[in-house]
Each structure stands twice: as structure tokens, then as C-alpha cells.
Amino acid sequence: MHENEQQIEKLAVIGTGVIGNGWITRFLAKGYDVVAFDPAEGAEERTHQSIKRAWESMEKIGLADGASPDRLTFVPTVEEAVQDAYLIQENVPEREDLKKSVLESIDQFAKPDAIIGSSTSGIKPSTLQKNLKHPERLLVAHPFNPVHILPLVELVGGESTEQTIINQAVKFYESIHMKPLVVQKEIEGHVADRLMEALWREALHIVNDGIATTEEVDAAIVYGAGLRWAQMGPFLTFHLAGGEQGMRHMLEQFGPALKLPWTKLEAPELTDELKEKVVEGCETHAGDKSVAELEDKRDEFLVKLLDLVEEYWPESKGIATSEK
């Protein structure tokens, strides 16, 4: 699928929480050797458990020749992890100072032409690359949970990122069956998280104001817009709601409603009372199922849903291709 395939000897993953483990699983399933580093106690064992649980989904999606969980190695230092890696995926906790210091270590020991992808959900790449020796090869490569299944990855270059690195990253992430979305301007939160954040704040207000419970808010998404959003985003959805004239009619008819003071403008205070409402709501909704059981069920569902989306929405493949 891309000309560099032969050159990719190994991939490095730094930080093996939920996101790091998702990357490891995806890389392994695509037939790569992966080297991982995480200083937390028990990290290696948790990663193996996580791969084991996800592997059935990966088999359904389709494994590359020679793909195996055995091709993962944990090493005790960043240096050993990143040396000789074609691409290094950074997934340490979302704190600017920590990310910067880990990225500086990676930068110090990585090959000069290695790609460094940060999984940061909110920090701008220009901020992250400031003190690097080779800032031109750092970009944001922000995935979505569960990373081993969801195709979206936002690619964002900073002031110093070279276009060739972004092009190379697009090819690489496409080769592991992702849909890279190259974000044109860097902003905090990139694109997808800003959209989710807007909805999330409104959801908290609704619960805080006693309009609906967390489970009811979730149902209001799942049984309405959520079913549509698995196939069409907000724009195409409204294009279809406008009749034969599509979006043009829609904007003329509903444009003025934009100014209605519906949505709350500020996030509600996260009081203990609101926290309890939210936590208890989720625990009730989850019933007697652990988070792990819910995850397994989600993954099974998503694997089947992905097939459906592919079957019914081939047009969407147009968003980002290496030809672009």
C-alpha cells in the first residue's frame, strides 16, 4: 500500500495506558514488530491482558500475514524503545510538562528521520515541538478509543513540521487501515474533541438542571442522532433534512434559529452533587456489567458496524488519501 513498507523495521509505543495499548494492538495486528516503554508497575502485564481481550476483534477485522501478539517487546528505557523505530507513538498522560519532557527524550534517541506522533487530545503540536532538536518530524496523531477499532486519526502539524512528514504519516496510518484527517490549522482540541466537548458540556447542563438523567441523555443520542452519525456527520444529515434543495434550503429555513439562546454557554460547576449524579447514572446504566465486559461488547458491535459503514458509505473514503 505504500512504498516505505520495506523500511519499517519496528514501531515504538511510549506510554501504555488505554490509548497506548490500543495502538500496540493495532500495530501488531497489521504485522509489525512493536517495542514498548512504560515505567508504571504492572504495565507489561496489563498490556498483554489488553491485547488478549482485543485479539478476537482483530481477527474479525483481518490480521496481516505474520501478525502476532508475540512480536511485542517491553524495554526498560525510552532509549531502547525508540532506537531504530520508523515511527514513535507517544501516549503519556495529558500534562504539557510531562509530554514535553518525554518527547525531548524520544527526540534525543530516535533516528533523525523517524516520525514522532503524539496522541495528545488537546495540546498544539507547535507547543510540543518547541525544544526538540528535530522539531520537523513531530506531529499530532490523535486517535479515538477504542484505538484498535475506530479508524479516525487526526494529523496536525505544527509551525516546524515538514509537509513531507505529514505526507509520510498519512501513508503510514492509511496502511494500518485508518482514516487520517489532516487538520488545516492547529487549534487546541483539534476538530473531533471540540465537537464532542461542545456536546458534552450541554449534556452536563441537562443533567445538572434535572432535565434528564445520564441514561436518558445517552438514549437521546443513541436512538436519534447517534444512529445517523455512524453514517453521516451533522452537515450531510442536515443536507438530507432540507428536502431536494438540501443544505441551501436548510440554512435559509433554520439559519435564524442559530441565534436562539438554547445551548448553555458555560460549563456547569463540577460540584460533588453533579459528580455523584453522573457517576451513579453511569453505574446504573452499566447494570451488573464491568467496564471490561462493556468494552468487549462494544468491540464486537463496532467490528460489525464498521462493515456496515464501509458497505453503505464508500463516498466518505474521499476525505483523506495519500493522493491528495
Residue ranges for the binding site?
15-20
**Smallest gap, in angstroms, from Cβ of residue 242 to a second copy?**
7
Q: Is 239 a residue that touches a second copy (CB under 8 A)?
A: yes
**152: region left, alpha or beta (phi > 0 left; psi from -120 to 50 alpha):** beta
| Total residues binding a second copy (CB under 8 A) | 116
Q: Is 1 a residue that touches a second copy (CB under 8 A)?
A: no
**Smallest gap, in angstroms, from Cβ of residue 80 to a second copy?**
27
**Smallest gap, in angstroms, from Cβ of residue 132 to a second copy?**
24
H-assigned helices in 63-191: 78-82, 96-109, 125-129, 163-175
Q: Is 324 a residue that touches a second copy (CB under 8 A)?
A: no
3-state secondary structure 272-318: HHHHHHHHHHHHHHHCCCCHHHHHHHHHHHHHHHHHHHHHHCHHHHH
Q: Is 196 helix (H, G, I), strand (E, B) or coil?
A: helix
H-assigned helices in 186-288: 192-208, 214-220, 227-229, 234-241, 246-254, 272-286
Angle among Cα 230, 179, 37 to the nearest 5 degrees reads: 110
The span of 23-31, 108-116, 132-140, 278-286 binding a second copy (CB under 8 A) equals: 278-286
Query: Does the N-terminal peptide bond of residue 112 adopt cis geometry, omega within 30 degrees of 0?
Result: no
Find the binder of a second copy among 61, 64, 75, 196 (CB under 8 A).
196
Report which residue type is found at 239.
H
Site for a second copy in 21-80 (CB under 8 A): none
Binding residues for NAD(+): 15-20
Neighbours of 5 (CB within 10 A): 12
Q: Is 234 a residue that touches a second copy (CB under 8 A)?
A: yes
Site for a second copy in 120-179 (CB under 8 A): 122, 144-145, 150-152, 154, 179
**Smallest gap, in angstroms, from Cβ of residue 320 to a second copy?**
8
C-alpha cell at 310: 464501509
Closer residue to a second copy in complex, CB, 105/127 = 127
Find the binder of a second copy among 1, 18, 40, 98 (CB under 8 A).
18
Q: Is 98 a residue that touches a second copy (CB under 8 A)?
A: no
Find the binder of a second copy among 12, 24, 169, 217 (CB under 8 A).
217
